[in-house]
Amino acid sequence: MRLTPQQQAALDHPGNVLLTACPGSGKTRTIVAKLVSEVERLRGTPFAVACITYTNAAVSEIDTRVSAHLMPDDHLNYLVSTIHAFCLHQILRPFASRVPGFSGAMQVLTPDREEFTEIADEAAEAVGRYDLRYEDYELFGRIGLDVSGKYIGSALTDDMIRLAAPHFMQGAAARGFIDFASILYLSYCLLRDDPEVARSVATRFQSFLIDEFQDTTEIQVEILRLIHAQSKSRFFLVGDPAQSIFGFAGAKPELIEPFAVDIGASRAYSLSWNFRSSRPIVEHAEKLFQRAPAMTSEGKNKHCTEPVRFSAQDDTFDAITDEFLPSIERMGLPLGRSAIVAKSWTELYSLARRLRDYGIKVVGPGARPYRRSRLFANLAEQLGAAVTDGHRYNVRQLERAMFNAIQDMTGTGRWDIFGYDGRRTMIALMRTARSLAEHQDGVNWMESLAAETGAILVRDGWIEARRQNDLLTSAKDMIADMHHAEIDVSNLSIEDLGMFASPDKALRLTTIHDSKGREYAAVAIIGLKEGRIPDYRSRTAAAIEGDKRLFYVGVTRAEQLLLYVYEHDYRNGPSRFLGEDGVGIV
């Protein structure tokens, strides 16, 4: 694996490291190289390296890259995981008997589960609220706990959430669920109060690679500190304070330096070469946050001279159809590697539907004609992609879909799904999906596949016989969702289902937060008006700086084409970040 001198220098340091990495600097490549070298060092031993990253998408990407460089049995010596999954599977569940009130079989209450909405509704009703909006459900997903067990995150900024938070957590536990905040807090308590637990975790994992360290919360830092105190693990921390955008979830970039000092991490290493963006885009980013050393464009796009553009229209839809899409076609960029990003989902829902009606394939809010939380949804999408993409399909995605579906049905994390037995089941599912596709399409294919998938999972011992029809029931629920959304199900194809597993076939609509860690050939940032970015509620310098970092992340997702979109508003002009206080384009 070829590395730059900057990347190799950080990799070669024998002790703890804090690596500052600019956008597009190849930090994922550096982490993968570090992980592979650690696995090679630990191969044949009972020890492992843990790579902790922020999102499931990042987990999938790193896991896929790493697996290409390692031997089949090397999965015993490494783990790629989010911090919540790590705490749940490596701390909480192994030591469940030591945690009062925790059942190891508890399922995780994720925001895309139907039960999440029901529990949030009940919690809100308990404090006198009966009219929750989409934004309110997002706030329930942002409830956190600090090291003292006090509510933080959205509970600090919204009075209803502050009052409803205890009811929400109690309702989750009563239904056999555990929420994200409780996973971290209970894990912290275990490590703090039971030295044997901390010693066991530190002994097993001799190295920790922490991605997106700028978005680490106080309780996450304390979990790492308790593990480090056992003097058995080394730490490789990678982050960028300029890209810290999860303050609403408790992220504190100011914790980076003190923790690095406490563990004796070298802070001499920095990645300043941007291999993603063109020079005009990098120049805009540098105007927002000037770096030392300065970020420079060094990749294949450094010779691209396409200027960054600004569009002011009466309707955002017109800006996209009149300027953004024609520019993508003019430059010969793939539609599937293009994205419209906004501060929140609310700005994207109606736009997604209008673009679909206009004949543009889109992936994003309002694009799926069924609930994403349906049990069979992800499996159906992955198997649809396996059918339509053929040899180009990434089988690791199906493995994770299988793992998640089995965990939802059984309440148990079957990590052996990633071994030989899981691969055998996966091949059977793909063969079945392709065989059925020879005679069926669309919803008929999906129903038949759901029934066959349930039978295969029972046959191979992944689920009990009584759960065999759960996937078929879910498929029928998906079809009901489509009818409710007035979708012509007779014209739904396998390719339509697979599109969501292979989003490179469609225009991506996403929030800036969800775009973090991703890159696109073309990016249009919409909703760029004063009062929105920065938010009208951002009255302190720190809050405005946080909004500026959010805008910075949006800018640095783009490779060749970047369009700023402002929809005329007689009350609010273009964002200040487009003017002298930012990129200076207006």
Total length of the chain: 586
**Digit-coded pLDDT (tens) for 150-165:** 999 899 889 999 999 9
Task: Band the pLDDT of 383: cuts 50, 70, 90.
Answer: very high
Q: What share of the chain is helix, strand, coil (3-state, %, to 5)?
A: 55, 15, 30
Query: Quick one: pLDDT at residue 366?
Result: 58
Omega before 534 cis (within 30°)? yes
Task: Tell me which of 128-137, 274-283, 435-444 is least confident.
Answer: 128-137
Query: Quick one: pLDDT at residue 274?
Result: 97
Q: Answer yes or no: is pLDDT of 211 > 90.
A: yes
Q: Answer yes or no: is pLDDT of 394 > 80.
A: no
Q: Are 213 and 265 in contact (CB under 8 A)?
A: no
15: helix, strand or coil: coil
Q: Answer yes or no: is pLDDT of 503 > 70.
A: no
Quick one: 321 exposed, middle or buried, by C-beta within 10 A (0-12, 13-18, 19+)? middle
Query: Quick one: pLDDT at residue 365?
Result: 65
Q: Which amino acid is at 100?
A: P
Does residue 367 or residue 271 have the better pLDDT? 271
Task: Band the pLDDT of 419: cuts 50, 70, 90.
Answer: confident
Q: Which amino acid is at 13?
A: H
Average pLDDT of the chain is 91
Query: Quick one: pLDDT at residue 354?
Result: 87
Query: Quick one: pLDDT at residue 373?
Result: 77
Task: Tell me which of 78-92, 107-121, 315-329 is least confident.
Answer: 107-121
Does residue 271 or residue 409 have the better pLDDT? 271
154-169 residues labelled b (16+ CB within 10 A) or e (exposed) = bbbebebbebbbebbb
Q: Which of 51, 53, 52 is nearest to 70 (CA)?
A: 51
Query: Quick one: pLDDT at residue 538?
Result: 87
Does residue 100 or residue 265 have the better pLDDT? 265
How confident is the model over 74-80, as a mean pLDDT? Answer: 92
Task: Band the pLDDT of 504: cuts 50, 70, 90.
Answer: low
Q: Answer yes or no: is pLDDT of 252 > 90.
A: no
* 56-67 vs 395-410: helix crossing angle, rounded to 10: 130
Taking the C-alpha atoms of residue 531 and residue 527, their distance in angstroms, rounded to an integer, is 10
Q: What is the pTM of this model?
A: 0.78
How confident is the model over 517-534, as a mean pLDDT? Answer: 95
**Digit-coded pLDDT (tens) for 10-50:** 999 999 999 999 999 999 999 999 999 999 999 999 999 99
**Digit-coded pLDDT (tens) for 279-298:** 999 999 999 999 989 999 99
**Digit-coded pLDDT (tens) for 460-480:** 999 999 999 999 999 998 888
